[in-house]
Structure 1
Amino acid sequence: MNTTLSDRLIGGLLVLVALMVILGEWHLVGNFGPLLPVLMTALTLLMALRVAPGRLAFVAVAVLLTVALILLVDDWRTHAMNGLRTASFIAAFYCALATLRSAAERDGSMRAAGRFLAQQPPGRRYLALTAGGQMFALVLNYGSIALLGALATASAREEPDVEIRNHRTRRMLLAIQRAFVSTLPWSPLSFAVAITTSVVPGTSWGTVLIPGLGTSVLLAGTGWALDTLFKPRLSHPAPPRRTPEGTWALMLPLLVLLLVLGLGITVLELLTGFRIVGIVLVVVPAMAVAWTARQARQGGEPLAARLADFAFRELPGYRSEVILLMMAGYIGTVGAPLLVPVMQSSGFHPETLPTWLVLVSFVWLIPAAGQIGMNPILAISLIAPLIPPASALGVTPSAIVGAITAGWALSGASSPFTATTLLIGSFGNVSARHVGLRWNGLYMIVSLVLLSAWVLVYARLTA
C-alpha cells in the first residue's frame, strides 16, 4: 500500500471524526469542546489542497458565510458549532457507508449477481435491474451505479448491432439510475432520510418509512411504465438473445446481507431507542468488518492490511465527494440564521401559505435548485428553519419528510451536478445535463405530477 502523508492524515482524521460522531450518537461522550473545530478545520484544509477548483468554491463560500455570521449574528458560536456538527455527521455517515461498499466491491458474488441482472432478456431486463438495482443501492450506495453501470455497458458492448446496442445501453443505465433514486426516500442508509429526519422534529426512520415506500413505488413504477410504453422500434428484426449466465440463486447472498442488515438495525433501534442514523454508523461498519474478515479467511488479503488500505487509501480517495457534502451541510446550517432575518424583513411568512402549496413546493423546488448546482443537503439545511411546524400546517411531521425526500429523489434523477447523472452520463457517453433533461425529461414531468398528488394524499390520510 503506497500512500502519501496527506492521504494518511486525511484518512486518520476521517476515522477519528467518525469515532467522535459515533460516541456522541451513542451518548458515550457529551461534548468534545474545542476538539471538533480543530479536527474539522484541519480535515477541510487537507482535503481542500487536493480537490478541483469547483470544490474549492464551496469552501470559499463556507468561509465567507462564517465571517458574515461572526459580524452579523450575536450567538454565532452556537450556529458555527451546529454547522461543524452537521458536517462531521455527514463525513461520518459517508465513511460508514463506504465500509460496506469496500467489502462488497471485492466480493465476486456481487459482481456475478450484477452480471446476471444485466444479461436478462429485454422483456424483463428493466424490472430485473430496477429490483436488483435497489438491492445493490442499499449496500453500495453510489457504488451500485458504478458497478452495475460498468457491467451493463460491458454487456451491451457484446451486441454487434449498433442500433440495438445504443438502445440497450440507454435503457439499462436509466433502469439503474432510477432504481438508485427510488431508494433515497426510504432507505435508512440514504442521506435523504438521515438529513431530513434530523431537521424535521418528531420524525424517525420508522415514521417516514410508509411515505418513503409510496414514493419509491411511484418512482420505480413510472420508470418501468415509460420504458414499456415507449419501447424503441428497431429498423430491422431483432436477433435471438443469449441465455443469461447463472440463475436467480445468484441474488441470494445479496438478499441475505440485506435481511441481516435490516434486522440488525431494527433490533438495535428497538432495544436502545437511539436515532437510526447512530445505529447505522455502528451496524454498517461492523458488518463490513465481518464480511472482510470472511473474505480474508477464504484466501483474500489479511484483515489488518485491508483495514489499513481502506482507512489510508480508499477513504482519502473520496475526498472530493466528502468535502462537497460536508460543505453543503455546513453552508446550509450557518447560512440559515443569516437568511431567516432577511426573509422575515421581506414580509414573507411560510406559515401563512396554504398547506398544499408548502408540501408540493418541496417536490418541485428541490429538483429546481439542483439545476443551478444546489445540493439537496445544502437546500434542506438552508430552508429547514423556514419550514412551518407540522402542527401549524395541520399535518404529521412524516408528511413533511415525505414531501422533502420525494423532491430529493427527483433531484437525483435530474440535476446535472449530482453523482447519479454524472456517472450515468459517463457510461452512456453523454453529458449529465443530457441525462437529466433529455433521457429523464418525460420521466420527471410524470413523476412531478404523481409525487405531488401522493404527498397530498398521504398528508390528508394521516392529518
Structure 2
Amino acid sequence: MRSYLILGMCALFLVQYFVEVKWLEFIVVGLSLVAFLGSAFKANRFPRWLGIIMMTAGIIIEWQKGTGVQGISDGIFLILPLICLLALAPLLSIPLRLSGFFHAIEVLLRNLKHQPKKLYAGITGTLFLLAPVLNLGSVRILNEFLEEIKLPSAMSAKSYLVGFSTAILWSPYFASVSLVLHYLNISFKKYILFGMGLSLLSLVVGNLLFALWEKRHPLIEPLTPAAPLEKQHQKQLMKLVLFVFLLMGSCLVVENYTHWSMIVIVCLMSILVPALYGTVTNDWKRMVSPLMDFRDRTVPMLNNEIMLFMSAGMLAFAMKGTSAANGVSRFLSLLAHQSFILFALAVMMLVLCVTYIGIHQIAAVGALAMQLNPAELGVSNVSLGLLLLLTWSISTALSPFSGLNLMVSRFAGLSGVQTGLRANGLYLSILALIGIAIISFIG
C-alpha cells in the first residue's frame, strides 16, 4: 500500500509539473506528508527522530515568517522532485541486471583479485560508471561480487568511498547535482564538463594515493597474472560504458531542446528506459519479477531517505531569509571579497560541522544554495555550484551519519570515523585543495 502511495505521489508530481494546477499541487503535498508520516513508523530510530525534529523546526520557522500553509506547502513541494528521483531511479537497474552487465563486471573483478592496484582501479572505475545510475545500490552490488575475495578492510573503505563519491560531483541522477543546479539555476549542459572533469581528477588522485599506500602496506597475495576476459564479457563491458554515456547524453539533448528541469528529465528517463528495454527486447516476462521486487522491496525500503530528504529540504527552505541565514550569508560574502580560498574553506568547514553531527547535506548545502547570491560573492554560479558539490562529496565521505559512510563501514567492519577520516582523510584533504584551486581559477 505504501508503495502505491509513494509511486502515486511521484506520478502526480510529474503531471503537476506540466499542467501547473494549484489544487493538484496541494494534493501532491498532502500525499507527501502522508508518506512522511508513514515512513516515520518504519524508519530507523536516528533518522526518524532527526527527521521529525528537522521537519518540526522547518514548519515552525516557516510559520513564524508569516507565510502560513502556503509557505509550508512551497517548502515541501520544492523537495518533492528529489523524493521522486530517489524513488524512480532504481528502475534503471532492471535493464542493467537483465542485460548481463553485472555478470561481466563480476568476472572482471574476480580476474583482478590477485593484483591489488588493478583491482582497486577496477572497483573505483566500476563505481564511477554504475554509481551515477544506481546510487548506493552500486556499492551493495559490488560488495556482493567481492564477498568471496574478502578484501582488507582498509582497501574496501578506500575503494568504495573514492569510487562512489566521484558520482556526487556530476551525475544528474544524484540528489546533490539535481538540487544544487536547480537552486542555482544552472543548466546541466553548462555544468557537465566541470563536474565530470573534477570527478575524473578525483578518481586519478584516489588511485595514485592507493598505489603509494599499497607500497607501504603490501597486500599478501600471490602475484598471479589476470586471465584475459572472454570476448563476450568485453563486449558487455563496452555496452555498459555506451549505455551510461547514451543515458547522460539523452538527458543533455532533452534538456537542450525542452528546457525542462533536469530532475524531471531524469525521473522520466527512469521510467522510459526500462519501458523501452522491455519493448525492444520483447521480454516482458523476465521484467515482471524485478518490477514486483521494485514495488514490494525497493520502494518500501525508502523510509530513512524520505524522512531525511523531506525534513532536511523543509528546514533548508524555511531557513532562507531568516536572521541566522542572513548573518551567515553576510559573513561568507565578506570572506569572499577578501579571499576566495578563505570563503571556500569556510563553506566546507560549515557544512562539515553540520553534517558531522547528523544533519543531512540537503539541509546544509540546500540552505547555502538558496541563500547565497553568486553575483554578490563575485563568483560565477558554476563556480559556486562546483564548490557546493565538492563540499557535498567530501562531507558525504567523512560524516559517520551519511548513508554512504554507514554502508561502507558495515561492509569494511570499521567505525564511521575510521572509514571516513582515517582511511580517506588524506585523499579528501588533497581533493579539497585541488578542487578549491581549480574553482578559484574558473572564477
TM-score (norm 2): 0.89
Q: Give the gaps of 5 or more residues in structure 2.
A: none
Q: Does the Cα contact within 8 Å between 1:152 and 1:173 map onto a contact in 2? A: no
Partner of residue 181, structure 2: 197
Say which is worse superposed, 215-224 or 60-69, in terms of deviation.
60-69
Read off the aligned partner of 1:249 and give its amino acid letter.
K
Alpha-carbon distance between aligned partners in 2 of 1:70 and 1:368, rounded to the nearest angstrom: 24
Rate the CA distance shift 1:118–1:378 in 2: closer, same or farther, 3 A. Answer: farther
Partner of residue 341, structure 1: 323
Alpha-carbon distance between aligned partners in 1 of 2:253 and 2:332, rounded to the nearest angstrom: 39
TM-fit CA distance, 1:172? 4.7
Partner of residue 40, structure 2: 48
Alpha-carbon distance between aligned partners in 2 of 1:327 and 1:236, rounded to the nearest angstrom: 44
Partner of residue 246, structure 1: 229
TM-score (norm 1): 0.85
Aligned residue-pair number: 434
Read off the aligned partner of 2:299 and give its amino acid letter.
L
| The one of 324, 344, 349 aligned to 1:359 | 344
Q: Does the Cα contact within 8 Å between 2:397 and 2:404 map onto a contact in 1? A: yes
Partner of residue 83, structure 2: 91
| The one of 371, 388, 413 aligned to 1:386 | 371
Partner of residue 359, structure 2: 374
TM-fit CA distance, 1:93? 0.9
Partner of residue 323, structure 1: 307
| The one of 266, 284, 287 aligned to 2:252 | 266
Alpha-carbon distance between aligned partners in 2 of 1:363 and 1:114, rounded to the nearest angstrom: 37
Partner of residue 419, structure 1: 403
Say which is worse superposed, 137-146 or 78-87, in terms of deviation.
78-87
Alpha-carbon distance between aligned partners in 1 of 2:425 and 2:356, rounded to the nearest angstrom: 13
Partner of residue 111, structure 1: 103
| The one of 263, 279, 288 aligned to 1:277 | 263
| The one of 31, 37, 40 aligned to 2:29 | 37
Rate the CA distance shift 1:299–1:39 in 2: closer, same or farther, 3 A. Answer: closer
Q: What RMSD, in angstroms, separates the aligned Cα atoms of the two structures? A: 2.7
Rate the CA distance shift 1:109–1:63 in 2: closer, same or farther, 3 A. Answer: closer
TM-fit CA distance, 1:182? 0.8
Partner of residue 424, structure 2: 440
TM-fit CA distance, 1:211? 2.4
Alpha-carbon distance between aligned partners in 1 of 2:315 and 2:325, rounded to the nearest angstrom: 17
Q: Does the Cα contact within 8 Å between 2:157 and 2:423 map onto a contact in 1? A: no
TM-fit CA distance, 1:138? 2.1
Partner of residue 160, structure 1: none
Please state whether the residue corresponding to 1:417 is helix, strand or coil: coil
Alpha-carbon distance between aligned partners in 1 of 2:34 and 2:74, rounded to the nearest angstrom: 17
Read off the aligned partner of 1:29 and give its amino acid letter.
E
Rate the CA distance shift 1:62–1:269 in 2: closer, same or farther, 3 A. Answer: same
TM-fit CA distance, 1:284? 2.0
TM-fit CA distance, 1:153? 3.1
Alpha-carbon distance between aligned partners in 1 of 2:390 and 2:166, rounded to the nearest angstrom: 9
CA deviation profile, 1:344-392 (whole Å, cap 9, x unmatched) = 57995543332403334334432333211121111122233431x2222
Partner of residue 28, structure 1: 19
TM-fit CA distance, 1:241? 1.9
Read off the aligned partner of 2:84 and give its amino acid letter.
A
Rate the CA distance shift 1:436–1:235 in 2: closer, same or farther, 3 A. Answer: closer
Q: Give the gaps of 5 or more residues in structure 1.
A: 1-7, 158-164
TM-fit CA distance, 1:245? 7.2
TM-fit CA distance, 1:36? 2.6
Rate the CA distance shift 1:215–1:234 in 2: closer, same or farther, 3 A. Answer: closer
